[in-house]
Chains A and B, each alone.
Chain A
Amino acid sequence: MFGLIGHSSSFRDARNTARDLGFEDLADGELDLWCSAPPQLVESFEVTSSTGKTIEGTYIDSCFVPEMLSRFKTATRKVQNAMELAQKRGINITALGGFTSIIFENFNLAKFQQIRSTLLQWDRFTTGNTHTAWVICRQVEQNAPRLGIDLKAAKVAVVGATGDIGSAVCRWMANKTGVAELLLVARQQQRLEDLREELGGGRILTLEQALPEADVVVWVASLPQTLEIDSNSLRKPCLMIDGGYPKNLDSKVMSEHVTVLKGGIVEFARDIGWQMMTVADMANPRRQLFACFAEAMLLEFEGIHTNFSWGRNNITLEAMEQIGMASIRHGFSALGIDPNTLNPQPLAA
């Protein structure tokens, strides 16, 4: 069995979901009430691969909402308790979705393995970042040519280049895709220097410097609320892959020359009998899902019960290839631009 740990994208959404499920008390409750709510097993469902193999999965809502980010202890508890629940239910491999893995990583929760009477086994969990990184690279490779961008001559900016997903994307772009130049954007100078050395190339720039130069921009960082992008200063055409969380780039860029694609989203070959991706605002919630969730499914399909994606900057090209092959084999495809209309599918809904 595989598991997915997710959460609502806002407190308002969480209340609406509670109301839809018939939990009026929760729906009417203030944030304080939600801070005390334990994780919930929301639903179980089956997924059948293109190979014919069927696996069973469970969706756990951690009852975390992004409004809790400023409450360090609360956010920590939500993540730890959801992980404990997944393990106690005997789930082999669980993906940490949305802010779950971000909180785990940034709050360094690997230091706290004992949760009440449960010793968390890290090999039951995955951040799903390897598959997310692979899917983002594939989205670049498949969609840039559709916009007339020749990747061999293109400059690709990676915003959040030193993060777990960002560095993996850079590695793949440098070694597998063969882009003309990588523009590396992140906050921490030393990590940027280290990354450039590892890649054997790439130019370190600020966001303001990189954007007007880039034919493709891969965002793998949450966008600061205050970020403003001058669409006129961007290359024409420009492909933007919104691989951060939450996915709100489309509200920042309004230009016919710029195509924004939701990054790290996959579409499955057939419908999945679940409800939860409606909550995640997917255009086709029966088939579309976060690539990190899909990684847990892939690991279960493949019988790889280990923390395939774990820690920071551990994603190898070999692991990306392995999960990428499995992704195709089992029926996932990276979300792309509709070639007929050149409108990105997720924005059409």
Chain B
Amino acid sequence: MASSLLDPAVDGTPVLDVELPDFTTEAYKSAYSRINAIVIEGEQEAHDNYISLGTLIPDQADELAQLARMEMKHMKGFQACGKNLSVEPDMVFAKEFFSDLHGNFRSALEENKVVTCLVIQALMIEAFAIAAYHIYIPVADPFARKITEGVVKDEYTHLNYGQEWLKANFDSSRDEIIEANKANLPIIRRMLEEVADDAAELKMEKESLIEDFLIAYQEALMDIGFNSRDLARMSAAALVA
């Protein structure tokens, strides 16, 4: 429907083109030292997690090892991004940032809970990464932009791996997925909160980070076999701070 006597707030053509941040300020570099560290740590843990998953799903250990190698490559790429801006990543912060999720993954691994491991790593963390990378790309420095664009393509294949496995085993996994979602989604939300101010310094908005995360996460859940009502119910925890 068109309108000409519209609320002035909607009228006119505002500019959607983004303005790039100043990559050289101390404030930017400080925020980048934590965000960059999170990404490096995230890729490192993803590598370790896929290797570990290979012990639970031995017949797919080769494929998982391949995914793990990709994560290692990403990690090196992001290390180069930090160096390019002369930023020292704050790895202590990053380890602490991931500690709860990391702990839950390790516990699930010890209990041979493949489904929980896949939900944490292949669904949640990958969806989180895809969302963050997509939102970062338009506001990244040219060097990091190129690297991140390459990474995003790979991350979709990782999300897809977990998706396919859980889809193939949906009936037997359903309850455990719901449980893993319940236990871990609030942690994801808390992580988003913790990183919000630094992300804002990089011109990445919390509001769109959450929405993009949920889009990727819900799409995976729907493909796995959940219906739209399940999705709304399962993702509420990511919306509520």
Contacts and interface: CB of A to CB of B under 8 A. Distances in A.
Nearest to B5: A221
A139 interface: no
A195 B98 CA distance: 61
A132 B2 CA distance: 10
B55 to A, nearest CB: 32
Contacts of B222: 41
B207 A36 contact: yes
Most central of B3, B12, B228 by chain A CB within 10 Å? B3
Nearest to B12: A106
Interface string A249-283: 00000000000000010000000000000000000
A132 B1 contact: yes
A129 B7 CA distance: 20
A102 B2 contact: yes
A120 to B, nearest CB: 14
B6 A29 contact: no
A160 B239 contact: no
Contact of B2 (A43, A97, A220): A220
Nearest to B237: A25
Contacts of A77: 208, 211
Interface string A155-167: 0000111111110
A37 interface: yes
A106 B5 CA distance: 12
Interface string A101-118: 111011111011000110
A37 B5 contact: no
A81 B16 CA distance: 15
A292 B1 contact: yes
A224 interface: yes
Interface stretch (B24-32, B43-51, B80-88, B212-220): B212-220
Given A103-B10, A166-B4, A36 B211 contact: yes
Contacts of A244: 1, 3, 5
B185 to A, nearest CB: 11
A164 B2 contact: yes
Contacts of A105: 2
A294 to B, nearest CB: 13
Given A37-B239, A107-B16, A116-B212, A102 B4 contact: no
Given A164-B2, A187-B5, A245-B3, A107 B207 contact: no
Nearest to A106: B10
Contacts of B11: 106
B1 A264 contact: yes
Nearest to A89: B222
B231 interface: yes
B72 interface: no
Contacts of A98: 1
Q: How large is the interface on A (under 10, 10 to 19, 20 to 34, 35 or more residues)?
A: 35 or more
Interface string A17-45: 00001110110010011011111111100
B215 A29 contact: no
Nearest to B235: A38
Contacts of A174: none
Most central of A81, A112, A312 by chain B CB within 10 Å? A81
Given A40-B228, A69-B10, A70-B9, A163 B236 contact: no
B14 interface: yes
Contacts of A264: 1
Interface string A56-97: 000000000000011011111100010011001000000001
A26 B234 CA distance: 12
Given A162-B4, A186-B4, A106 B13 contact: yes
A26 B219 contact: no
A129 B214 contact: no
20 contacts: A22-B229, A25-B240, A36-B207, A37-B211, A38-B215, A38-B218, A41-B228, A69-B7, A69-B9, A73-B205, A76-B16, A84-B215, A85-B215, A102-B3, A106-B10, A166-B4, A222-B3, A222-B5, A224-B7, A245-B3
Interface of B: 1-7, 9-14, 16, 134, 152, 156, 205-208, 210-212, 214-215, 218-219, 222, 228-229, 231-233, 235-237, 239-241
- Identify the 4 closest CB pairs spanning chains A and B, nearest first: A221-B5, A164-B2, A163-B2, A25-B236
